Amino acid sequence: MISGSGSDVLFLHGGGVAGWMWRPVLDVLAGGLRAIVPDLPGHGSSGSVDYVSHDETLARLADLIRDRAPRGVTVVGFSLGGQLALRLASEHPELVRAALVVSAETTPAPAQAATLALLRASAPLAKREWFAKLQARQLGVPATLLGRYITDSARVSEATLLASVKENISFTLPDGWAAFAGPATVVVGTKERGLMRASAELTHAALPHSTLVVAERAGHDAPFTRPELIAAELRALLSDEDPERPQREVSE
Per-domain residue ranges for the chain?
A: 2-250
Taking 90 as the threshold, does the pLDDT of residue 70 lie above it? yes
The string of DSSP letters for 121-176 reads: HHGGGGGSHHHHHHHHHHHT--HHHHHHHHHHHHH--HHHHHHHHHHHHT----GG
The top-level CATH class assigned to 2-250 is: alpha beta
Segment 113-160, tens digit of pLDDT: 998 998 888 888 878 888 888 888 888 898 999 999 999 988 899 999
Instruction: Kindly report the average pLDDT of the chain as a whole number.
Output: 91
| CB distance 252 to 236 below 8 Å | no
% of the chain at pLDDT higher than 70: 93
Confidence of residue 2 (pLDDT cuts 50, 70, 90): low
Taking 90 as the threshold, does the pLDDT of residue 77 lie above it? yes
Strand partners for 215: 189, 250
Taking 70 as the threshold, does the pLDDT of residue 250 lie above it? no
Residue 242: the pLDDT is 41
Residue 3: the pLDDT is 61
Residue 208 burial (CB count, 10 A) = 9
